[in-house]
A and B are shown apart, each in its own frame.
Chain A
């Protein structure tokens, strides 16, 4: 621990795999661009690339050492350019522990260390393969330092106000922890209603288009033509089967990702861990949470379930998982308010929302019509007279517009702003005034004639902005919200 050490040799392998994963698209392109003329040369090029990859990964491993000294985590690395990173434990915001498949086989762990400086880009430092014991020791030191820092802060408080009671209270909340565990039936329900099939289907399409040259599609389609003649029913069955398989794959993928999902609140931190094959653990300081999003998709909403996400200012932009953090993958609607309050104190879900004025419905309807009318016109013209059936889309658009219109609502409760809207799924944002970066109001010419406005409240999420937006609100309400957000005392609207 206090001696310079290397990572576990598995790091070499994981380095190679990581690079291959990042370079997969250029490699595939290279493979197919060459065509069939010079296969030999291609293999030589690949061989050379692969050889250098192995050598480079090995050298990187050889040159990377880490140790703990003087309250710092010290990492020296780099093959050609030596890089020394000394990170004070006080400066570390969070340490994420994950175990990929490779790490699990060898009983290792991967640490990602985040500081304030690692905002947006990659994590400040990464130890890809170390023994569990080492990882636990580093985390223990980190926790120790943090606790010491907190004690110091607390004692400063006492000197100022000398309230021993407050200190005791703080200790109490420190030790009390709440735990949320996703049960297995809920996990399956969540995976089955996730809509992850879209990801798998688009992935399959991308895969097929990439391997265009590999599979003789022309030959297949010639056979397919015969096939079609032999029975359209069979064709439909095949497509159906494909969908079912894709659906099952998508569901299984989510089950693997979110198995054993546990969210735990310990003191001022949330610890979220999940995963069956690949384990991930995230530690999120409460004070870095910028807002909460509650999502109810079209399948879950009638079943009375919702998912809760955290808008989190830390994390690296490249890592999708840390930008969209699930706090509760699936939770009964009745429990939402209580659960959110337990885990993220200060966020109070409100049920009484103020909606839109009736006159804005027509604008919601028009917006749908703008999408629908070209489709209806084209269908009617091309598929005359059967295309006229597409006129049925217009009442459907009217109903959908109504569903969107109906869900929009807002509530201001003390320093909290709650916004609800429907994109496809129903989304509720809860923001605190102290976390909102910017508030804006937009009025178009047509909106002004009807005294309506669009508003957007923006918080920081990951490295970028996240916007909660309500369209066609009563103008007076927009002004009211603007005044609520304004920090100036004097200005009031006439």
Chain B
């Protein structure tokens, strides 16, 4: 039985945009190589390789990885524990008991803010876990809920 909740479908857009930024950097480098090749008579295979790599990066980081990641991402917040599933090729499922949660916070970078999303970060004494993109209201509710449930019991580390 997989965790039930998916993250916001807008996360897909956010990841595509940030993937596109990465890809754009690759293309800028490719263009730079193109200019240098023309100016200094470099061999043409360099520009071919750079173009191929950039095309691959564009496909992977804009199309392939975001949809794979989004499909895998699930979470469940129950009364006594949080379960998170993530991963691209290796699917990882993490179980965090509520009594181990030390604090929760929501974060919102510029990209997330544009789409009215926020990420929820859950910290235990030793580790941190993130739910990367939820609707802002949902993220706030989750933060309230987790911190309320977490403070019910206090344990020694």
Contact = CB atoms under 8 A, between A and B. Distances in A.
B90 A444 contact: yes
B81 A438 contact: no
Nearest to B124: A437
Contacts of A445: 89
B126 A488 contact: no
Nearest to B125: A460
A487 B81 contact: yes
A435 B127 CA distance: 13
A438 B90 contact: no
Interface stretch (B31-39, B40-48, B92-100, B134-142): B92-100
Most buried by A among B91, B96, B125: B125
Contacts of B100: 436-438
Interface in A440-494: 440-445, 458-461, 464-466, 482, 485-488, 491, 493-494
B95 A290 contact: no
A444 B89 CA distance: 6
A316 to B, nearest CB: 15
Interface in A418-434: 434
A488 B1 contact: no
A465 B91 CA distance: 21
A313 interface: yes
Given A288-B156, A443-B90, A458 B126 contact: yes
A56 interface: no
Nearest to B122: A438
Interface string A279-294: 0000000011010000
A435 B93 CA distance: 19
B3 to A, nearest CB: 10
B94 A438 contact: yes
A482 B124 CA distance: 18
A317 B155 CA distance: 22
A486 B93 CA distance: 12
Interface residues of B, number: 26
Contact of B156 (A287, A442, A461, A493): A287
Interface string A212-232: 000000000000000000000
A97 B46 CA distance: 64
B80 interface: yes
A185 B27 CA distance: 67
Given A437-B124, A458-B127, A488 B89 contact: no
A437 B125 contact: yes
Contact of B126 (A440, A443, A465, A494): A465
Interface in B107-121: none
B155 A443 contact: no
B130 interface: no
B63 to A, nearest CB: 19
A349 B17 CA distance: 52
Contacts of A459: 126
Contacts of B99: 487
A439 interface: yes
B1 A493 contact: yes
Given A288-B157, A460-B157, A494-B1, A439 B126 contact: no
A438 B95 contact: yes
B125 A313 contact: yes
21 contacts: A288-B156, A288-B157, A437-B96, A437-B125, A438-B95, A438-B124, A440-B92, A440-B93, A440-B94, A440-B95, A442-B90, A442-B91, A444-B89, A444-B91, A465-B127, A482-B93, A487-B81, A488-B78, A488-B80, A488-B81, A493-B1
Interface of A: 287-288, 290, 313, 434-445, 458-461, 464-466, 482, 485-488, 491, 493-494
